[in-house]
Amino acid sequence: MDNFTNTSQHDPAHHTGCRPYSNLATPECDFGCLHRTLGEELLLPPLYAFEETATSAHTWANMAVNKWGGLGVNLPPSVHLLTLEPWGDSRLLLRLEHMYEKGESDTRSSPVTVSLKGLLADWAITGVEEMILSANLHKKDEHRLKWKVKTTSTAQASHSQQHTSNSVHQQDPLSVTLGPMEIRTFVLTIPELTRLGQTLMGVPRVHWVVAEDAHATNMRVVTYLKHTALPHTYLLNVKLSLKPFSHERFCAH
């Protein structure tokens, strides 16, 4: 490494763009932990974006969202959010990955349980469906081929333990247990109001009118409207009378 570094410094023609990294393991983060953590940081570095504007810093600070985080709670150090993307109307595709192999790290190779409740900062999750990795089949409808193989008692115990870790939280669908190197895929259902609010937050000069036929205020709606920071009007006890649509009348006007 010393020879490579010296050569790169004095002879630009031999520079290959490699960077040496030195890290010291600690009881809280051993070598396996350092290896995975550093690799993740190098693979997914922060992305910086800039925009030209004539607006003053004070005005910009008052009109723009200056700080935002997509996660409502921090994930455990051994869990990586692999996928989060729209999946049809009012649904999101979520994949969670356990980054460590069994025995790779003394502190982070154990199975870990994650609660999906409050995981996403701006989306309340109302439904969870587990899918296979490709997300084109429900996990409960999966039928794997069964092969006749000779297994040791250790392998059978490991398989049994993994199956137990996946099914221990069936009564709480918002709790997910991940074993070493395991990826689990979910389709999350979010309220339509939340999805619409996320869309309107990107629209300039908009006033949101929310109308309900209920007689009492829904505090969850009130809280969410305040959270969006959008100018809004919340109406109660609204009765809509929808008249049949006339194509000729619409065209005539």
CA neighbor of 191 nearest in space, from 127, 111, 116: 127
Tokens of 234: 């919340």
Do 131 and 83 share a structural domain? Answer: yes
- Regarding whether 171 and 238 lie in a shared domain, the answer is no
**Mean pLDDT calculated for residue range 104-114:** 91
Residues 123 and 204 in one domain: no
Please give the structure tokens belonging to residue 192.
């339509």
Range of the domain at 229: 200-253
Is residue 108 included in any domain, yes or no? yes
Q: What is the CATH number of the domain that holds 165?
A: 2.60.40.1360
Considering the domain architecture, whether residues 178 and 95 belong to the same structural domain is answered as yes
Under 8 Å between Cβ of 191 and 90? yes
Average pLDDT, the chain: 79
The whole-model pTM stands at 0.67
Which of the four pLDDT bands, split at 50, 70 and 90, describes residue 27? confident
- Quick check: is 125 in a domain? yes
**Under a CB-based contact definition with an 8 Å cutoff, are residues 183 and 137 in contact?**
no
Band of the pLDDT at 252, cuts 50, 70, 90? very low
**What confidence category does residue 174 fall into, taking pLDDT thresholds of 50, 70 and 90?**
confident
Q: Is residue 1 predicted with pLDDT exceeding 50?
A: no
Q: Is the pLDDT at 10 greater than 60, yes or no? A: no
Closest CA to 124 of 31, 3, 227, 55: 227
pLDDT 10s digits, 49-107: 888 888 888 888 877 777 778 888 899 999 999 999 989 878 899 999 999 999 998 88
> Is residue 191 scored above 60 in pLDDT?
yes
Domain count along the chain: 2
